[in-house]
Amino acid sequence: MIPEPNFGWTGSVGDVVLGATRSDGGTRSRSYRIGGGTTLPFMEKGGTFPSPLVVFEICDDPRYWSPIVNDFCGDLVHDPAAWAKTAETTYGADLVRLCLTSTRQRDFSDIPSLGKTTDAVLASTSLPLIIEGSNEPKIDSEVFQKCGEAGQGEHLLLGTAEAGRYRSIAAAALAYNHAIIAQSPIDINLAKQLNILLKEIGVPRDHIVIDPYTGALGYGFEYSYSAMERIRFSALKGDADLAMPMICAPSDSLSIKEVREADAGTRNAIAVEWEFTTSLAAAIAGAEIVCVRHPDTVRRLKAAFGALNTRTGGA
């Protein structure tokens, strides 16, 4: 008799909760508990385990967004609230990630508008929300303070903390009880270091999601794939400083040469294929949340995750 696989793991991935329902003091229609894995992805005993979550990313200034998505989504891209609603009802996303691209304008200073946009998106969708702050360290403090406050009680996921740039976001997360994304440049040791820095300033482990950074397929994805496998492996081997769920955002996929230079007839298909392939492989390597920007990628990923999560027999 062939034995079922046994890898001798001693640890497991810790839990992080995203979103808060009414009973938890928020207004979301659902919340997710991610993490909890005790073996390699999709290998859990019994085979019933939550599928990875599929996030649809939107922005508040489409000038800084992929023209492919802007063309595909049409007028929605000028109305984050309506776009978020569509992500929930039409695209079938599990979460929405609001990227505050308006902050990329030169000398951006309209902080109050960010709070208003956050409020509007929270009102239009009942999905848990990820908020991606500015590109500009100088305004981090105000931006995260404003968004954190607007989402108080909703248990948001705030992005993105990096080594050398994590204090403002951590302060907002601690003040308003949100979780944060901790990103490191495709390096398991730097990922661990950042988690330790966050721990030292008081961010609890169950409020951290690791982003090992996702290089696009063909542009370094193999490094990200292995970084994710190694982080998962370390968590299962008992390294508590790496035992957090992971997020993968292959957002570079839409700006690579293959997609940019594709002719009009195949551009959408290549964009979707690139997001899909990268996200699927990342989930197999250990990502519990994957973020995409093309609406057509969402359903394909959800179906594939469902199929990966279904077993009709053992080994």
Partner 1 sequence: MPLKALDIYKLLPKKNCKECGDPTCLTFAMKLAAGKADLDLCPYLDDNAKSVLGATTRPPIKLVKLGVGERSFAVGEEFVLYRHDKTFYHPPGIMFAVFDTQSEEEIAAVTARVRDETLTRVGADLKFSGTAIVNTSGTVEAYTKAVAAVEKTAGLPEVLVTENPAALAAALVQCGSYRPLICAATPENYRQMCALAKQYGCRLVVRAPTLDGLARLTKDCAAEGVQNLVLDLEPKTLGDFLYRSTALRQLTITRAVPDLGFPVYLDAMAFDDEDAAIALGIVKYASVIVTKPLAPASAKAALTLRQNIYTDPQKPIQMNPGLYRVGTPGKDAPVLMTVNFSLTYFTLQGYLESTRIPCFMLIVDTEGLSVLTSVAAGKLNEMLVRDAIKKFGVENEVSHRKLIIPGYAAPLSGRIEEATGWKVLVGPRDAAEIGEFLVQEWKP
The footprint of partner 1 (CB under 8 A) covers 1-5, 7, 40, 42-43, 47, 135, 163, 185-187, 190, 215, 217-223, 225-226, 229-230, 233, 252, 255-258, 260-261, 266, 269-270, 272-274, 276-277, 280-281, 284-285, 300, 303-304, 307-315
Nearer to partner 1, 118 or 195 (CB): 195
Among residues 58, 211, 32, the alpha carbon closest in space to that of 131 is found at 58
**Count of CB atoms situated within 10 Å of the CB of 1:** 3
Looking at the Cβ atoms of 176 and 225, the one nearer to partner 1 is 225
For partner 1, the closer of residues 201 and 303 by Cβ is: 303
How near is the Cβ of 99 to partner 1 at its closest, in Å?
Answer: 13
Please identify, using beta-carbon distances, which residue of 179 and 254 lies nearer to partner 1.
254
Give me the least distance between CB of 227 and partner 1, in Å please.
9
Q: Nearer to partner 1 by C-beta: 57 or 88?
A: 57
Between CA 219 and CA 112 the distance in angstroms is 37
| Cα–Cα distance, 312 to 307 (Å, whole number) | 11
The least CB distance from residue 28 to partner 1, in Å, is 29
How much of the chain is helix, strand and coil, in % rounded to 5? 50, 15, 35
Nearest-approach distance from CB 251 to partner 1, in angstroms: 10
Three-state SS letters, 170-239: HHHHHHHCCEEEEECCCCHHHHHHHHHHHHHCCCCHHHEEEECCCCCCCCCHHHHHHHHHHHHHHHHCCC
